[in-house]
Amino acid sequence: MRFMKLSLVAGAVGVTLLSAAALLIDRTPAVAQAACDGPTTPFCNSTVPLPAGWKGPVFQLRQDYPAVAPSDQQPWLAFDPRTQPDAYIKSVLAYFYEGNLRPDVETSFDPKLNTVRNWYNAPWQDQGTNGREPVHGLTRERTSRANELAAGQSQQWNNYAVGFYNAPGAVVIGQMWKDHGHPNPAAAGSLPEGTVAAKLLFTTATVQQVPYLAGAPTWKVYVYANPNDPSPKPTSPRAVLEVRLLQIDIAVKDSRVASTTGWVFGTFVYGGGPGGPSGSGWTNVAPVGVMWGNDPGSLAGGPLKETWLNPAVHMPHVGFQGRLNGPVDNPSSSCLSCHATAESPAGQMIGADPKRWFQNVPSGTPFDPGRQSMDYSLQLAVGLADFQQAQKIKSAPTPTLRAKFLQERIMQDSRPPRDGGPLH
């Protein structure tokens, strides 16, 4: 109780100063003791205070990472991702849905309510302007520009997302973050076979602007009040907004595609995208496509052999030269071109030279020679980079330098990582 009161007081201060970066500024010693993201504390759920009088769900970062993954079914092994991509990715989605769907939309995907299997969240996604909001733990993602989601979409809209790892992936998160004050990047060099990461992406776009969102599950979340502002500042006001399910991303570590990348990435769009069938609820989604390589051999043109696009879905854009990307994503990249850059120190996710970004980087190999691979996991890379930057700010030798580092951080935040912005 005492802690709650104190954190609300700290929250009020945080809102006026730097809501999302509240942990980076000084607090009273009593609050600091009860804080999170410290060397001996739990990881933060969110550093954004809840709205006054909030009675709805509160995000709790699932962080009891297991030492060993229990044996589990892997239903996607019944399908070859290269020849049966549709059945493959749908079976992974069904695995992700199992135990996570409930009649109450707001309590769906709460890991502590899932009695079938455990899902976990990656730590240190809570920093800065784009960090987790407090109700569902959503981070701010790339803004959708006009006409990217649907023809006739005249405004740009903010997007928000939350990701989950299954137990095999969570074992690695636990190994990397065993010592909360000294993470070990090398532990994330290779995620185990059967790792699944899945991410729910929600949009502030209205049904009027994007008609296929009709019937989409909605969550109320505490995000930037202006849904059309592409670069909110830490001081921008927040409000409880309704966001709609737009996209579901999936990544699977599968050795059957080891000769390309070792990873299968797939994405779903709510309502089947423009012109899709009407319906409602979590299951009313259709695969946009699946990819297991960047097709480096087709950069001069020619058919893609490592991306499958669902012929029944017609998005305004996918990725580079028709490689897979989701509705929210940057059309000049692909799922795997971005994720291949997961490394420490952080790599550059999007660049001008297609030969470099659309090569097939084998799982466990760093994008830039000499760095530590983080095996296609960008949440682990973002978390580590944010941890390191927070330490740099905290240990700045003078107040002037400290203010300078903080300002640098805020400037970098104007473009979220999912837009190809720096990972700090």
Cβ closer to ligand HEC: 167 or 197?
197
Binding test (CB under 6 A) with ligand HEC, winner from 69, 187, 251, 286: 251
Contacts of 372 (CB under 8 A, 6+ apart): 185, 186, 188, 189, 343, 344, 366
* Paired residues of 269 in beta bridges: 247, 286
Q: Cβ of residue 144: shortest distance to ligand HEC, in angstroms?
A: 13
Binding test (CB under 6 A) with ligand HEC, winner from 85, 134, 163, 217: 163
What's CA 133's distance to the chain center, in Å? 13
For residue 120, give the 3-state DSSP assignment: strand
Q: Which of residues 76-105 bind ligand HEC (CB under 6 A)?
A: none
- Beta strands in 178-311, from DSSP E residues, in sequence order: 196-203, 218-224, 238-253, 263-270, 285-291, 307-309
Binding test (CB under 6 A) with ligand HEC, winner from 267, 284, 363, 372: 267
Cβ closer to ligand HEC: 22 or 382?
382
Binding test (CB under 6 A) with ligand HEC, winner from 44, 89, 349, 393: 349
Q: Cβ of residue 355: shortest distance to ligand HEC, in angstroms?
A: 18
Residue 399 identity (one-letter amino acid): P
Locate 4 and state its tokens: 């709650």
Q: Cβ of residue 127: shortest distance to ligand HEC, in angstroms?
A: 12
Q: Per-residue x/- marks for ligand HEC, 174-213, CB under 6 A?
A: -----------------------xxx--------------
| 313 touches ligand HEC (CB under 6 A) | no
CA atoms within 13 A on the CB side of 77: 9
What crossing angle do the helices spanning 167-176 and 378-394 adopt, rounded to 10°? 20
For residue 372, give the 3-state DSSP assignment: strand
Q: Which of residues 351-390 bind ligand HEC (CB under 6 A)?
A: 377-379, 382
Cβ closer to ligand HEC: 27 or 339?
339
What crossing angle do the helices spanning 399-412 and 378-394 adopt, rounded to 10°? 160
Q: Cβ of residue 287: shortest distance to ligand HEC, in angstroms?
A: 10
State the number of binding residues for ligand HEC (CB under 6 A).
Answer: 31
Locate 321 and state its tokens: 């030269």
Q: Cβ of residue 197: shortest distance to ligand HEC, in angstroms?
A: 4
| 285 touches ligand HEC (CB under 6 A) | no
What does R_g of the chain's alpha carbons equal in angstroms? Answer: 20
DSSP 304-335: -SSEEE-TT---S--SGGG----TTS-TTS-H
Q: Which of residues 390-419 bind ligand HEC (CB under 6 A)?
A: 417-418
Considering only 106-114, 216-224, 233-241, 332-340, which stretch makes contact with ligand HEC by CB under 6 A? Answer: 332-340
DSSP 14-39: HHHHHGGGGGGS---HHHHHT-SSST
Q: Cβ of residue 246: shortest distance to ligand HEC, in angstroms?
A: 12
| 294 touches ligand HEC (CB under 6 A) | no
CA atoms within 13 A on the CB side of 12: 7
Cβ closer to ligand HEC: 208 or 255?
255
Cβ closer to ligand HEC: 10 or 342?
342
Interface with ligand HEC (CB under 6 A): 139, 141, 161, 163, 197-199, 249-251, 265-267, 324-326, 329-330, 333, 335, 338-339, 349-350, 377-379, 382, 417-418, 420
